[in-house]
Amino acid sequence: MTIINPYLAFNGNAEEAFEYYKSVFGGKFTALQRCKDAPDSDKMLASEREKILHISLPIGQGNVLMASDDLGKMGQNFTVGTNFPLSLHPESQEEADRLFNGLSASGQATIPMHKAYWGAYFGMLTDKFGVQWMVSYDYNGQK
């Protein structure tokens, strides 16, 4: 079964927002990566390195709220609170390709599906309706 999780974009305050969400919902972060953790981060401004690259907070049964800071540098144009990608997590690489290809038909692939450095088969797209999607299959977690 495919899982769908909201992925929010923030203008530099993702960590503050998620600390608040954690205080409201409880739980622990399952991921907290900073921009300095990415390859070539030495080319970033020092002020950008501490921003959130990815953060995840499980909420309830099977739901995960995720976010990052400043996605505009990745070619995305988000308005905080009004436009965010939906993050799909299929159970296989084949399903990831099927979903990506289906959703990107008549749309635009912004990051083609590829094996990303953090252990996922990952891609991003904007569908023909302007909805932004991220498809991520965790190939390191396969059984």
At residue 143, the pLDDT reads: 41
Residue 93, pLDDT > 90, answer yes
Helices (H), 1-143: 14-25, 46-49, 93-104
Length of the chain: 143
At residue 78, the pLDDT reads: 57
Q: What Å distances lie between residue 62 and 12, 28, 70, 136, CA to CA?
A: 27, 14, 26, 16
Q: Which domains are assigned to the chain?
A: 8-72 (3.10.180.10), 85-143 (3.10.180.10)
Whether the model clears a pTM of 0.75, i.e. scores above it, the answer is no
Residue 100, pLDDT > 60, answer yes
At residue 114, the pLDDT reads: 96
Residue 29, pLDDT > 70, answer yes
Q: Are residues 99 and 86 in contact, defined by beta-carbon separation less than 8 angstroms?
A: no
The Cα–Cα gap between 122 and 115 comes to 6
The Cα–Cα gap between 42 and 62 comes to 36
At residue 64, the pLDDT reads: 94
